[in-house]
């Protein structure tokens, strides 16, 4: 059965909406505003949750790197959180954070932690020891070496982790529809028998994930020009 909002638009008409076809131009023209609003909400939730995850993951990774005894604990706890099914995690958070966007953002941010922490640690571990020794010889302190030498060189690994969590967040955001804050997921599950809507929201999710991934690839290329130079030198050699 089609949603009443659709059948009320064209009562008794014989078109792609009433025939419930997968591809229907009439649907896109009549529901473009709703699709755009859902897409904007989806994008906002993804960006906000990943940003929150980064704010938490960076100090956690630096703490784990500084105190090796904490590394296993931090990685273990974040990994354990990642294994919790999304519906169960949101249900566990609701008594503390309530029904609403706060629960969705916190839940999605928690899912980013294990990948971001591991990515930051692996990126920092990839910095050559001789580079650190040279920095110490030039008088770099621990903090200055971290921000001026280690983090720039660790960016490829960190950006790879950021790409993974961003794309994952696009998919997981749809689960927020159980709390009415799922972006495109709200429209996706509102009527799973409405083929045009299912196809439109699914395609938009895929396009959003691909677009954000390409933007992060471009940002990585801009931030790490030496990586491209190094690859070109290896190819020439």
3 state SS of 38? helix
- In a domain, residue 6? The reply is no
Kindly state whether residue 167 falls inside one of the protein's structural domains: yes
Measured in degrees and rounded to the nearest 5, phi and psi for residue 39 equal -65, -40
Q: Mean pLDDT score of the chain, rounded to an integer?
A: 84
In this prediction, residue 133 carries a pLDDT of 84
Split at pLDDT 50, 70, 90, the class of 213 is: very high
CATH number of the domain within which 184 lies:
1.10.3720.10
The Cα-based distances of 49 to 41, 62, 101, 117 in angstroms read 12, 20, 10, 15
For residue 227, is it within any domain? no
pLDDT of residue 13: 54
Structural domain total, the chain: 1
pTM: 0.84
Question: Does 18 reside within a domain?
Answer: no
Spell out the residues 6+ positions from residue 164 whose beta carbon is closer than 8 angstroms to its own: 115, 119
Long-range contacts (CB closer than 8 Å, 24 or more residues apart) made by 94-97:
94/179
Does 13 map to a domain?
no
CA-angle at 205, arms to 216 and 23, nearest 5°: 135
Q: CA 119, CA 220: separation in Å to the nearest integer?
A: 14
Domain membership flag for residue 3: no
pLDDT tens digits along 13-53: 556 766 667 677 777 777 788 889 999 999 999 999 999 99
Inside any domain, residue 184: yes
pLDDT digits (tens, 9 = 90+) for 92-132: 998 888 888 899 999 999 999 999 999 999 999 888 888 88
Residue 17 lies in a domain: no
Question: 50 is in which domain, residue-wise?
Answer: 25-219
């Amino acid at each position: 059965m089609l949603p009443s909002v659709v059948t009320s638009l064209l009562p008794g008409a014989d078109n792609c909406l009433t025939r419930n076809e997968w591809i229907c131009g009439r649907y896109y023209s009549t529901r473009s505003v709703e699709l755009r609003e859902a897409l904007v909400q989806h994008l906002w939730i993804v960006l906000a949750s990943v940003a929150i995850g980064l704010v938490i993951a960076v100090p956690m990774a630096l703490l784990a790197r500084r105190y090796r005894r904490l590394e296993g604990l931090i990685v273990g706890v974040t990994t354990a959180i990642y294994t919790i099914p999304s519906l169960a995690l949101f249900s566990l958070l609701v008594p503390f954070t309530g029904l609403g966007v706060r629960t969705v953002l916190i839940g999605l941010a928690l899912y980013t932690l294990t990948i971001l922490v591991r990515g930051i640690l692996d990126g920092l571990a990839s910095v050559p020891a001789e580079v650190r020794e040279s920095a110490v010889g030039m008088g770099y302190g621990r903090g200055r070496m971290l921000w001026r030498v280690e983090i720039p060189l660790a960016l490829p690994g960190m950006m790879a982790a950021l790409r993974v969590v961003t794309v994952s967040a696009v998919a997981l955001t749809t689960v927020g529809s159980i709390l009415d804050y799922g972006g495109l997921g709200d429209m996706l599950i509102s009527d799973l028998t409405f083929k045009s809507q299912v196809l439109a929201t699914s395609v938009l999710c895929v396009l959003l994930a691909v677009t954000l991934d390409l933007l992060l690839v471009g940002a990585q290329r801009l931030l790490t020009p030496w990586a491209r130079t190094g690859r070109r030198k290896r190819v020439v050699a």
